[in-house]
């Protein structure tokens, strides 16, 4: 099941979060995303003022796998990232201390274990928040059993004198486990106050202090280091599931270069033909031959642009601005992504997209007068399912989270000041009230996957100070 939602990050950034199923039985999966921006023309966001390099600065693409929920037994013994598997990697590394692949596998496996342990704890919290009568006693007992089994790895690392990188990875994981177990326990105790959970919290804090971790909360302090370490650990361990993009410089704009070459070739044929013709008519040394070369050069330049644009239009299905190779945290190539930015004339927008855009009674008023520019962002994600399945053996990956984060600060540069005075009559007196000038940026989001296609429409309500809110415009069934 595909799920799409928007999240407002701050005044100038919003996310479109797309979750879709991953099919491990397919050799290769392809997902297409198209995002149409319908922009008021007075924002001056067009092909001349807003180029692809500007867009790349404003957009972030984040892609990661979703961790399936694992049981206590799987976390300790059975999963490919279980404590038992980490133990095996440590034993294998004893005689191969400098083996970089084993070192990467150790770090990668610990990351996956920590993230999965966190998801296990989150599941308890979510069930408690939903009103389910979860057993705090069971949560505490199972958490202790998993955590105790993990902490035994420290003795093993010391026994084999792994005191550098591997020990640091363990200590980071151990400290982060303290942080999230405390966080979820505090949230759970606000739902239902139980003494055994308070005792568990006290024990975790005592362990933090004994281990001299810097994430212990200070009642009289600003605790900025606690927040910093928590945020840094979260990003570090989640990296195990994120796919890292690396620009493929060899293939950037290859199709575009073909279009440019076609334009240059046609223009050169024209210019050479003009030169040969007028040379025969007027001779090689004459004023008319000289003028014909000048005119031919001018027209050659224009013809090159015309043919290039025509060829680009015909080849647009194969063209992209940039190609990224996608790598896992342990540097395995698991797919690639292409993306491009273009501006469209209204007649070039597919009918179904325009129908979705027009599914609102204010459209005629909105588009009349100032008009609209239409910007299209496309990204195609191709994943090698077989390679991913090998990488996350026994993990059971069945979902991918694809996040498009966009910064709209460039959209606000040409907006007018936000506040206006309005007047109304109250009890025969004229009253003044402040009003807020807003702009609407309409978005149509199109997703095509192996087994499902979806259209969504959103509206950014913005002013000079940034995004006020993101609204989803519910579509008619006929439109969908």
Residue pair 447/32 in contact (Cβ under 8 Å)? The answer is yes
CA distances from 325 to 249, 256, 382 (A): 10, 19, 10
Cα 184 from Cα 60, distance rounded (Å): 29
Average pLDDT of the residues in 35-49: 88
Residues 208 and 304 in one domain: no
Each residue of 186-226: pLDDT tens digit?
999 999 999 999 999 999 999 999 999 999 998 888 888 89
Residues 440 and 373 in one domain: yes
Tell me if 228 is assigned to some domain.
Answer: yes
Burial class (CB in 10 A: 0-12, 13-18, 19+), 429: exposed
Tell me if 477 is assigned to some domain.
Answer: no
Tell me if 245 is assigned to some domain.
Answer: no
For residue 259, give every residue at least 6 positions away whose Cβ sits within 8 Å of its Cβ, in sequence order, or none.
308, 311, 312, 315, 319
Q: How many CB atoms lie within 10 A of CB 472?
A: 14
Each residue of 166-180: pLDDT tens digit?
999 999 999 999 999
Residues 292 and 162 in one domain: no
Q: What is the pTM of this model?
A: 0.73
What is the tally of structural domains in the chain? Answer: 3
Residues 273 and 309 in one domain: yes
Tell me if 479 is assigned to some domain.
Answer: no
For residue 464, give every residue at least 6 positions away whose Cβ sits within 8 Å of its Cβ, in sequence order, or none.
412, 415, 416, 417, 418, 437
The confidence score (pLDDT) of residue 361 equals: 47
Residues 272 and 370 in one domain: no
Tell me if 11 is assigned to some domain.
Answer: yes
Tell me if 248 is assigned to some domain.
Answer: no
Residues 164 and 299 in one domain: no
Each residue of 72-86: pLDDT tens digit?
998 998 877 889 999
Average pLDDT of the residues in 347-375: 71
Cα 464 from Cα 194, distance rounded (Å): 49
Average pLDDT of the residues in 286-307: 65
Mean pLDDT of the chain, nearest integer: 82
* Dihedral in degrees, nearest 10, Cα atoms 206, 212, 86, 169: 150
The confidence score (pLDDT) of residue 211 equals: 93
CA distances from 189 to 26, 49, 55, 218, 300 (A): 44, 54, 45, 20, 76
Structure token digits, residue 332: 């395995």
Q: What are phi and psi of 432, to 5 degrees?
A: -110, 140
Residue pair 41/373 in contact (Cβ under 8 Å)? The answer is yes
pLDDT: which is higher, 338 or 306:
338
For residue 179, give every residue at least 6 positions away whose Cβ sits within 8 Å of its Cβ, in sequence order, or none.
215, 229, 230, 233
Tell me if 31 is assigned to some domain.
Answer: yes
Beta strand ranges found along 427-475 (DSSP E): 429-436, 439-448, 453-463, 466-472
Residues 307 and 336 in one domain: no
Each residue of 96-137: pLDDT tens digit?
888 888 888 899 889 989 999 999 999 999 999 999 999 999
Among the three residues 270, 292, 317, which one is the final residue of a domain in this structure? 317
Average pLDDT of the residues in 309-329: 69
Q: Residue 304 belongs to what domain range?
A: 254-317
pLDDT: which is higher, 79 or 283:
79
Residues 271 and 235 in one domain: no
Tell me if 329 is assigned to some domain.
Answer: yes
pLDDT at 400 over 60: yes
Residues 9 and 51 in one domain: yes
Among the three residues 301, 317, 333, which one is the final residue of a domain in this structure? 317
Average pLDDT of the residues in 261-285: 67
Q: Which residues of 227-240 are buried (b: 16+ CB within 10 A; e: fewer)?
A: eebbeebbebbbbb
The confidence score (pLDDT) of residue 152 equals: 95
Cα 134 from Cα 125, distance rounded (Å): 9
Q: How confident is the model at residue 364 (pLDDT cuts 50, 70, 90)?
A: very low
For residue 66, give every residue at least 6 positions away whose Cβ sits within 8 Å of its Cβ, in sequence order, or none.
19, 241, 397, 398, 399, 400, 401
Residue 254: name the closest of 338, 379, 348, 376 by CA: 338
Q: Is 335 left (phi over 0), alpha (psi -120 to 50) or beta?
A: left
Percent of the chain with pLDDT over 70: 79
The confidence score (pLDDT) of residue 349 equals: 86
β-strand pairing of 322-327 with 3-8:
unpaired
Residues 31 and 167 in one domain: no
Residues 338 and 288 in one domain: no
The confidence score (pLDDT) of residue 141 equals: 95
Among the three residues 240, 273, 290, which one is the final residue of a domain in this structure? 240
Residues 313 and 355 in one domain: no
């Amino acid at each position: 099941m595909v799920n799409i939602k928007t999240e407002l990050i701050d005044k100038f950034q919003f996310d479109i979060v797309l979750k879709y199923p991953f099919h491990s039985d397919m050799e290769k999966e392809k997902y297409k995303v198209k995002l149409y921006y319908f922009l008021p023309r007075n924002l001056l966001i067009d092909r001349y003022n807003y180029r692809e390099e500007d867009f790349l600065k404003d957009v972030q693409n984040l892609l990661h796998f979703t961790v399936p929920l694992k049981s206590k037994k799987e976390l300790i013994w059975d999963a490919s990232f279980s404590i038992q598997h980490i133990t095996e990697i440590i034993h294998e590394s004893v005689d191969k201390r400098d083996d970089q692949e084993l070192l990467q596998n150790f770090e990668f496996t610990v990351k996956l274990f920590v993230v999965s342990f966190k998801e296990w704890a989150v599941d308890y919290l979510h069930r408690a928040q939903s009103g389910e009568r979860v057993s705090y006693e069971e949560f505490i007992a199972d958490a202790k059993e998993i955590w105790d089994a993990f902490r035994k790895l420290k003795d093993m690392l010391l026994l084999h004198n792994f005191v550098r990188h591997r020990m640091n990875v363990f200590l980071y994981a151990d400290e982060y486990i303290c942080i999230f177990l405390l966080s979820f326990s505090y949230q759970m105790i606000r739902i239902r106050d139980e003494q055994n959970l308070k005792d568990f919290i006290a024990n975790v804090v005592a362990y933090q202090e004994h281990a001299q971790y810097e994430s212990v909360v200070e009642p009289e302090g600003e605790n900025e280091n606690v927040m910093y370490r928590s945020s840094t650990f979260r990003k570090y361990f989640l990296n195990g599931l994120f796919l890292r993009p690396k620009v493929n410089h060899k293939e950037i704009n290859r199709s575009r270069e073909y279009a440019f070459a076609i334009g240059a070739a046609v223009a050169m044929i024209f210019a050479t033909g003009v030169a040969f013709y007028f040379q025969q008519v007027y001779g090689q040394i004459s004023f008319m031959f000289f003028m014909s070369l000048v005119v031919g050069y001018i027209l050659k330049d224009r013809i090159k642009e015309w043919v290039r644009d025509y060829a680009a239009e015909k080849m647009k299905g194969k063209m992209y601005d940039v190609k990224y190779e996608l790598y896992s945290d342990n540097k395995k190539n698991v797919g690639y992504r292409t993306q491009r930015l273009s501006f469209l004339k209204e007649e070039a927008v597919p009918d179904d997209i325009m129908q979705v855009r027009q599914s609102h009674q204010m459209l005629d008023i909105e588009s009349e007068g100032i008009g609209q520019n239409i910007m299209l962002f496309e990204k195609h994600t191709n994943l090698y399912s077989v390679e991913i399945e090998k990488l996350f053996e026994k993990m059971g990956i069945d979902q991918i989270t694809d996040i498009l984060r966009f910064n709209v600060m460039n959209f606000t540069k040409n907006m007018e000041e936000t506040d206006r005075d309005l007047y109304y009559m109250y009890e025969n007196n004229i009253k003044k009230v402040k009003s807020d000038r807003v702009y609407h940026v309409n978005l149509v989001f199109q997703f095509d996957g192996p087994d499902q296609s979806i259209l969504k429409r959103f509206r950014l309500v913005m002013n000079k100070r940034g995004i006020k809110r993101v609204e989803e415009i519910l579509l008619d069934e006929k439109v969908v």
